[in-house]
Amino acid sequence: MKKYAILCGSAPRGFTQKKINEMYDFLTSSSGGAWAEKEIVFFPNGVDDAMLAFVLERLKADKAEQILLYICTLTPVADEDKSIWLGGYEVRRSLIEAFCSDVCAQVIYDCGRKLERNEKIELEKEVFENKITSLSFEREGE
């Protein structure tokens, strides 16, 4: 069975929401179904309409039998809201509802204000900066 989870957060760059990290940890644990990393699409800092639509369509084309869409905002989502804000990007609820009517999908709306530093992003940034710095010094010494 092909299954996928899409985790969408609203944290600023370099951070993730604690709740989205907990959902990821739960899904990859044996009690959460032991989802493989390749089955989880992770947008901790938000996603726009176009990118979300692209990912949803790709999963639909891949004949996914089960899709979990977990949306974690910084403020609660009301039933009458026509849009959801994820990391500064506006996502239309109609996009999500239309997709869910076509495919076996479950949507969970959650709210999490507690942020955690995303160590992986910081490490990648440090490695990149070190490569740039060493490249600069090599050119100066030529």
8-state DSSP, 130: H
d(CA 71, CA 122): 24
**pLDDT of amino acid 100:** 79
List, for residues 103-125, the tens digit of each pLDDT value: 788 899 999 889 888 765 444 44
Asked if residue 35 lies in contact with residue 28, where contact means CB atoms within 8 angstroms, the answer is: yes
Q: What mean pLDDT is reported for the chain?
A: 83
Please compute the mean of the pLDDT values over residues 38-62 and round it to a whole number: 90
**pLDDT of amino acid 9:** 92
Sign for the pseudo-dihedral over CA of 52, 53, 59, 62: negative
pTM score, whole prediction: 0.78
**pLDDT of amino acid 101:** 78
**pLDDT of amino acid 4:** 92
What the block records as the tokens of 85 is 């804000």
d(CA 7, CA 35): 13
Residue spans per domain, the chain: 3-117
**pLDDT of amino acid 138:** 44
Q: Which residue has the higher pLDDT, 62 or 129?
A: 62
**pLDDT of amino acid 136:** 43
Say if residue 110 is exposed, middle or buried (CB neighbours under 10 Å; 0-12, 13-18, 19+): middle
